[in-house]
Chains A and B, each alone.
Chain A
């Protein structure tokens, strides 16, 4: 029997028993579509998160107060009180050769009001370098002026959402607004691209770091961002920062320095594992589709007993009949996989339209894996029915009516 004839014959039985075929296609399509969609979601989340961390800046080191690891330390009786990070700690890091810029950050929450409108907002105290380190752009006006970090100044920069909520369509530049019990003049508004893990810059009010410290009546910093000169400088910079802070903190190792690369790599691993997990769960539905294929093909064999007997009487070998039924299972799985591929990518596209921030492109390995799994599941689960068909006794098969 020729290849084209095998396809033609199985094609005729697929079309001839369309209810059964549609059912199989549907099951397979759902399985493949869910694998594609879920892995796309996982992959999208991974790329989103790593993208967010890269958007934080380049060659970034983040200094946090407190120590996440225990390396000996003081006796339990005294407990361990992590020293706060101070502005002078931050400024001392400027002397490190591998570091290009230092950005101290103080964070708090305060009511922000203009005329009769008031809202609670996150207030971020920092210096002029913040803009460059975080790769932000201004929508209007200027960022904080380059001045002595110890000096307060009654100026502020608004995130786009804060600006919109307080001022609506009116111009905010030059207006005086009230943050807590102090007055600040708006000198600029941020562009809308600033959105990242931890702090949503859409919603912040940026003021000079010394102003924030007086506003919140606290000398401590939330964290220090340090930008290394090159990627190769990062490890040396990390060691130098730890050393510098330890010297200032009377020999106590009480800060944590994390590098952005390490964070990105960690998230990468977490989300990869997550993607494989959800992909694996979705693959279970492919296995279910496979069992359905087996079930329906078994029904098909008993439904077409007479036909199988006839094929044998007409000179078909057992191998030929095995091949016919396997081809049918294979064709159905392949067609189902193709439909599922379309459905899955379509659904991913729709999700991408709803959440534009998520990069929703199906990973190519997932496409191959889903289609490959569908095909092999169809073939593996098609073997049993096909063998049953091949082994049918032609006399008994023909006796059935």
Chain B
């Protein structure tokens, strides 16, 4: 499903070139549950952004669902993102002036879906993340856990094959965090490919496969499974 071969991502900082990704080879099959860990600045977020097509490789190849996406145009990349990839962020990234429902609707709106179908999908998504009674609330009227659930609903409303989560519990208390993780794992059980960047060793241990990124390279690739 995801295949990175000899992936490099270089940044120029002043006169120095930094290799955020330094020759990564990675294959992820459909339905996998993968935790990406590593120290700060190790390149784990860069890896996630590359996989999410928010960033481009400096060198190497990326194949997604059998399609070479390394050199796609901006328009095509946007389309692939819209149709196959969902994002969940540490800071939720909800649009503050829009209601929960409107936030969830946003990717469908961007895709140009007709209003009736949009409404149907949005209310179904809000329902399945038990947010139906919060549909008209703005983000600042929601708790952290609720906000992240809205963000997950927004990521899932387009029915993507892959969900990329960047520290999804990093900004939540323990209860809300474990609730969010359970929701994500539930989605994974239904066949969603789940990639999660995390600092939390307890969280990463729950994943069936853990990779550890150090200095832009995969230092450890462990297929364990939940304890």
Partner-B contacts on A (CB < 8 A):
1-2, 5, 9, 12-13, 15-17, 306-307, 309-320, 394-395, 398, 401
Contact = CB atoms under 8 A, between A and B. Distances in A.
| Centre residue among B54, B75, B95, B110 by max chain A CB count within 10 A | B110
A60 B58 CA distance: 85
24 contacts: A1-B112, A2-B109, A5-B109, A17-B97, A309-B93, A310-B93, A310-B95, A311-B110, A312-B78, A314-B81, A314-B106, A314-B154, A315-B83, A315-B110, A315-B111, A316-B78, A316-B110, A317-B74, A317-B75, A317-B78, A318-B78, A320-B78, A395-B46, A395-B54
B79 A315 contact: yes
B49 interface: yes
Interface string B105-117: 0110111100000
B119 interface: no
B78 A315 contact: yes
Given A307-B95, A395-B49, A398-B54, A313 B81 contact: yes
B102 to A, nearest CB: 8
B54 A16 contact: no
Interface of B: 46, 49, 52, 54-55, 74-75, 78-79, 81-83, 87, 89, 91, 93, 95-98, 102, 106-107, 109-112, 154, 158
A394 B78 contact: no
Contacts of A398: 54, 89, 93
A16 B97 contact: yes
A9 B109 contact: yes
Given A1-B110, A12-B102, 4 more contacts: A310-B95, A314-B154, A315-B79, A318-B78
Contacts of B91: 306, 401
A307 B91 CA distance: 12
Contacts of B83: 315
Contact of B109 (A1, A313, A394): A1
A395 B81 CA distance: 14
Contacts of B75: 317, 319
Nearest to A315: B82
B82 A314 contact: yes
A17 B96 CA distance: 11
Contact of A12 (B46, B52, B98): B98
B112 A313 contact: no
B137 to A, nearest CB: 15
B119 to A, nearest CB: 13
B55 A395 contact: yes
A52 to B, nearest CB: 57
A9 B97 CA distance: 10
Nearest to B80: A315
Contacts of A320: 78, 110
A331 to B, nearest CB: 16
A367 B179 CA distance: 60
Contacts of A312: 54, 78, 81
Q: Which 4 A-B pairs have the closest CB atoms?
A: A315-B82, A16-B97, A317-B78, A314-B107
A312 B109 CA distance: 13
Contacts of A310: 93, 95
Contacts of A13: 97
Contacts of A318: 74, 78
A307 B139 CA distance: 14
A401 B89 CA distance: 11
Contacts of B74: 317-318
Given A16-B97, A398-B89, A398-B93, A314 B52 contact: no
B184 to A, nearest CB: 17
B110 to A, nearest CB: 5
A318 B89 CA distance: 21
Nearest to A5: B109
Nearest to A394: B54
A144 B78 CA distance: 90
Nearest to A16: B97
B104 to A, nearest CB: 11
Q: Which of A12, A16, A313, A398 has the most CB of B within 10 A?
A: A313
A15 B97 CA distance: 9
B97 A12 contact: yes
Contacts of A315: 78-79, 81-83, 107, 110-111, 158
A317 B54 CA distance: 12
Nearest to B95: A307
Nearest to A310: B93
Nearest to B87: A313
Nearest to A6: B109
Given A13-B97, A307-B95, A313 B52 contact: yes
A13 B96 CA distance: 10
B159 to A, nearest CB: 13
Contacts of B98: 12
Contacts of B154: 314
- In this complex, the member of B75, B79, B82, B95 whose beta carbon has the largest number of chain A beta carbons within 10 angstroms is B95
A329 to B, nearest CB: 18
Contacts of B54: 312-313, 394-395, 398
Contacts of B111: 1, 315
A398 B90 CA distance: 10
Given A307-B95, A394-B54, A314 B89 contact: no
A72 to B, nearest CB: 79
Contacts of A5: 109, 112
B165 to A, nearest CB: 12
Nearest to B102: A12
